[in-house]
Amino acid sequence: MIQDLKSNTLFVRIMDIDFTDGGIEPVPISPISFEQTLPSNQTFVPVVFINQRIFTELDSLQIRGLAHKMIPFVSEKAKQSGKEDFKELQIDCDWTKSSRDKFFYLLEYLQKIPELNEVTITTTLRLHQVKNIQSSGIPPVKRATLMCYNMGNLRQFGDHNSILNQQDLTTYLSGTLKDYPLELDIALPLFDWYVAFRDHQYIGISKYIDKSDLDDKSLFTRNPKTELFILNQDLQKANLKKGDVIRNEFITKEQLIATAKFLNKELQGKEKRIIFYHLAPEVLSNYNYADLQEVIAAF
């Protein structure tokens, strides 16, 4: 499908950076391991997610040290992928008012490192960072990716969709994008997930159930009023108990098209890249080539 869509760029998560339990030094978390090289005709953009909490502990000297540790790590991963270099490095961080200044310092410093003098540093934007621009600030880069997903309250019990909600999108972005001072790319969600609750309390996202489980009426009963699924018996493979409730969140083609039309209107025809998240067979199987072409055409 990547070839069918004529996608010429792959954004690839290299690692997370965070503290380990009890740790005081930021370290790579779950770094990627390439089992095969990436297509030679596609541009490779490494993405590094940094937990904003580390910026509450690091001073400027430690932030510079983090930058110098990060670059060779990313470069080595690029070589493992079959790429000799990269022209863009994206730093993903859900910064807050308290971590903003130090995160922005990292972005500025990365752009001064000689090894990156031909690399464009970009970052990500959450909806709240766009709407609350006075407190969030504007990251010191020329380009950012607006992440149009994970906008609702995942942990709140109910049948709402926390991945993508048109009302939230309108509340946060209406009238704000046309004047935003950075070039913006758009990331749209293709993934779905199964959110589990026990006694109306969030207990996690289950990776061990799927739609076939929910369709099994001996396992689950669908609540017609809320469209939540109630477990009829213990389900050991998923560590769930009888009475637990599952909310299956997914995004339809129609929701993606509505989102695309809204964003296109707000961006007033500005040039942008459209990024679908994320690349995995089980995710892409929910959409066909024509579906995604319709979404792209809506921009």
Q: Indicate whether 78 and 118 sit together in one domain.
A: yes
Q: Indicate whether 133 and 275 sit together in one domain.
A: yes
Q: Indicate whether 59 and 147 sit together in one domain.
A: yes
Q: What pLDDT sits at residue 268?
A: 87
Q: Indicate whether 149 and 205 sit together in one domain.
A: no
Domain presence at residue 3 = no
Domain presence at residue 244 = no
Q: Is 154 helix (H, G, I), strand (E, B) or coil?
A: coil
Residue 214 to residues 18, 22, 168, 190, Cα–Cα distance (Å): 35, 39, 28, 20
Residue numbers of the domain that contains 215: 197-238
Overall size of the chain counted in residues: 299
Which CATH number goes with the domain that contains 170? 3.20.20
Please give the single-letter amino acid code of residue 169. L
Q: Indicate whether 164 and 227 sit together in one domain.
A: no
Q: Can you list the positions of beta strands (E) in 148-268?
A: 183-189, 193-198, 201-205, 220-222, 229-231, 245-249
Q: Indicate whether 110 and 166 sit together in one domain.
A: yes
Domain presence at residue 55 = yes
Q: Indicate whether 223 and 280 sit together in one domain.
A: no
How crowded is residue 7: how many other Cβ atoms within 10 Å of its Cβ? 18
Q: What pLDDT sits at residue 283?
A: 84
Which token pair is 219? Answer: 């396992």
Q: Indicate whether 223 and 269 sit together in one domain.
A: no
Q: Indicate whether 110 and 93 sit together in one domain.
A: yes
What gap in Å lies between CA 271 and CA 68, rounded to an integer? 33
Tally of structural domains, the chain: 2
Residue-wise pLDDT tens for the chain (299 aa)? 566 667 889 999 999 999 987 778 899 999 999 989 998 889 999 999 999 999 989 999 999 999 999 999 999 999 999 999 999 999 999 999 999 999 999 999 999 999 999 999 999 999 999 999 999 999 999 999 999 999 889 999 999 999 999 999 999 999 999 889 999 999 999 999 999 999 999 999 999 999 999 999 999 999 988 889 999 999 999 999 999 999 999 999 999 999 999 999 999 878 899 999 988 888 878 898 889 999 999 99
Contacts of 103 (CB under 8 A, 6+ apart): 50, 52, 55, 93, 95, 139
How crowded is residue 184: how many other Cβ atoms within 10 Å of its Cβ? 20
Q: What pLDDT sits at residue 152?
A: 87
Q: Are 257 and 205 in contact (CB under 8 A)?
A: no
Q: Indicate whether 205 and 186 sit together in one domain.
A: no
Could you tell me the pTM of the whole model? 0.94
Q: Are 9 and 43 in contact (CB under 8 A)?
A: yes
Q: Indicate whether 185 and 205 sit together in one domain.
A: no
Please give the single-letter amino acid code of residue 136. S
In sequence order, what are the beta bridge partners of 240?
A: 235
Q: Indicate whether 45 and 82 sit together in one domain.
A: yes
Q: What pLDDT sits at residue 282?
A: 81
Domain presence at residue 243 = no
Contacts of 32 (CB under 8 A, 6+ apart): 12, 13, 14, 15, 77
Q: Are 88 and 110 in contact (CB under 8 A)?
A: no
